[in-house]
Amino acid sequence: MEWKNVRGVDTPRHRITWTENGKRRERVVTLDWKGDLAELDRLYWLCERGQHPRQKPPAPATSWRALVIAWRSDPRVQNRLSDGTKRSYRRTMDALLEKNADKDVRQTTRAHVRALHDKLSATPRKADHHLQVIRLLWNYAKNKLDWPLGENPAEGLELYGTTREFLPWPEWLVGKLAEAPHDVRVACELILGTGQRPNAAIMMRYDDFSGEWMWVWDEKGKDRFEVYCPPRLRAFVASLRKQGTHLVAKNLTEGKGYDSVEKAFRTWRKTLGDAAQEYTLHGLRKLACIELAEGGAGDAEIQAVTGQSAKTVAYYRRLADKKKLSRSAQTKRERNKNET
């Protein structure tokens, strides 16, 4: 350590010298000790161990932080994503950056990714989502940013399994909505009545409703369109005491967000016992799809209401068809027994 007079003030500095390719190199770190000997001692030993922030090498241009920033700043990517998907990606990317922000993407190996996946095995859905995000970012860096990357280290690793489909709510749980807290009940009635994604339904305003029609927002398609409003939902909306521009109001001009409502929903769900714990807000959207199918709506009609993909509609239509067929079969069975 050395002292240097800077503008009339003696200032401690830590100097490191070394030889690189036959040339003398050095790095000098000014110790901001603020006149505190204990702080000076701490900074000195940080430098001796090479751990002072000023001694850290600059992050490479191909760091994970640079990659995430580029991905989040690309309108070609962001404009195609729903708000819910963006939040999901943000959480996982933030977790990845906690320990890897300044690490070079090019140094990431398949062994590193597998170790992370194994470490999160207690939460398989979370573990698989980390793989998905790493694979997505790697492909973006290679194909859109032209980074010199090799084979994607997350490609081909075995997943713990696809996540279970959201369960449609049973009748007994829907019946419990009458006892739910105000915001939870309003949100649930909107999701079930509109068939929309929870976030889009929760953010609905009173001026989205006009007579027999309502305006809904397709988050993924980034499209707003008008659909028929079922009588039950019309009557429910008309029964509400208006507290602001939004049905689930934060104040006079703002609506509450999905996270706030979902937290309140989980708190209420705990009061209903173990039987209710596997059901989510998304399950109401699935129930809407099944009710439409049971009512005789075709796939195209269901898609016109809910905005779901043809694959998703087909899956929940099969559930509805099974219920109808089982009722028909059991009725015939009982009729045959009685006739015999």
CATH number, residue 238: 1.10.443.10
Mean pLDDT computed over every residue of the chain: 87
Contact 241, 153 (CB under 8 A): no
Regarding whether 127 and 21 lie in a shared domain, the answer is: no
Regarding whether 267 and 126 lie in a shared domain, the answer is: no
State the average pLDDT over residues 295-302.
Answer: 84
pLDDT in the model for residue 323? 67
Q: Per-residue pLDDT tens for 247-272? A: 999 999 999 988 899 999 999 999 99
Contact 206, 242 (CB under 8 A): yes
Q: Could you tell me which residues come within 8 angstroms of residue 184 by beta carbon, excluding any fewer than 6 positions away?
A: 177, 261, 264, 265, 268
pLDDT in the model for residue 300? 86
Placement of tokens 């009545």 in the chain = 193
Inform me whether the pLDDT recorded for 89 exceeds 90: yes
Residue 163 Cα distances to 123, 128, 129, angstroms: 11, 9, 10
State the average pLDDT over residues 330-337.
Answer: 80
Contacts made by residues 145-154, CB under 8 angstroms, sequence distance 24+: 145/67, 145/70, 147/62, 147/67, 147/105, 147/106, 148/106, 149/105, 149/106, 153/108, 153/109, 153/110, 153/112, 153/113, 154/113
Regarding whether 224 and 317 lie in a shared domain, the answer is: yes
Backbone angles phi, psi at 20, to 5 degrees: -135, 120
pLDDT in the model for residue 21? 67
Across 298-319, b (16+ Cβ under 10 Å) vs e yields eeeebbebbbbeeebbeebbeb
Inform me whether the pLDDT recorded for 59 exceeds 60: yes
Domain that holds residue 115: 64-143
Regarding whether 114 and 201 lie in a shared domain, the answer is: no
Regarding whether 281 and 137 lie in a shared domain, the answer is: no
What percent of the chain lies above the pLDDT cut of 70? Answer: 93
What percent of the chain lies above the pLDDT cut of 90? Answer: 51
Regarding whether 87 and 191 lie in a shared domain, the answer is: no
Rounded to whole angstroms, the Cα distance separating 61 from 245 reads: 46
Inform me whether the pLDDT recorded for 319 exceeds 90: no
Regarding whether 182 and 320 lie in a shared domain, the answer is: yes
pLDDT in the model for residue 4? 85
Regarding whether 176 and 134 lie in a shared domain, the answer is: no
Regarding whether 264 and 196 lie in a shared domain, the answer is: yes
Q: How many domains does the chain have?
A: 3
Regarding whether 76 and 39 lie in a shared domain, the answer is: no
Contacts made by residues 238-243, CB under 8 angstroms, sequence distance 24+: 240/186, 242/206
State the average pLDDT over residues 40-66.
Answer: 81
pLDDT in the model for residue 125? 84
